[in-house]
Amino acid sequence: MLNFEDFQSNLAGVQERIATACSQSGRALEEVSLLPVTKNHPLDAVKYAKAAGLRAVGENRVQEAADKRSSYASGMRWELIGHLQSNKARLAVETFERIQSVDSLKLIRKLDRHASDLGKVLPVLIQCNSGEDPGKYGFPAESMNEAIEAALSAESLSLEGLMTIAPLDKNPDVAKAAFEKLRELRDILSARHDCLLPELSMGMTGDMELAIAAGSTQIRVGTALYGSRNPKAGPQTCLK
């Protein structure tokens, strides 16, 4: 894994990209937050984020995040951005402050039940497959109204917005269309259900500028901050 100084340099580069994209899109910088994605990286990745003043991290796997969190009382917000199997729903509710990858009615019901059992209200985002990618999870656009209704009626869930992952495609118009479709869906559903749905979590290392132009409020970035994970790397000296 890279050292902290390299991480700081990478972070400055990402922040500059976000600032430039906001300026070019006529948006205020404070409208877009950065979620560092620490999946598949050692615990130092979380410590680097905290040391740099970031307040949350994103993880893809429930058990990996639970193990990291149990060994580091960081005071950070932990967000699940990867697909959640329903048999790990309770552990996810125990581990994360927010789950972005809510992609089925069954999962909505399970999360609501487990959150109620644990005496908490769990913030969630509904994941939409707005790019119609068969390799991606998420509700199809035509099912989003039903998903919003289910999430809003859940007593122990707090619906904060929508999330999507753009299809992998060399043509940037494909990602652009997926992001714009999610924003349009958010506007329609927000008006229909008289709810704000303020968070639009969309955009990663390769397409953050397109996402910001389309209205993203949160960019999820891993590679541009931490580089590619090297499974043969030795132990890292952790920040204290």
pTM, two decimals, is: 0.94
pLDDT given at position 140: 98
Other CB atoms closer than 10 Å to residue 29's CB: what's the count? 11
The alpha carbon of residue 105 and the mean position of all alpha carbons in its chain are separated, in whole angstroms, by: 19
| Residues whose CB falls within 8 Å of the CB of residue 165, separated by 6 or more in sequence, listed in order | 127, 131, 133, 136, 138, 202, 204
- What is the identity of the amino acid at 32? V
pLDDT given at position 75: 86
Give every residue of the chain whose pLDDT is below 50, as ranges: 231-240
Pull the structure tokens for residue 46.
């979380």
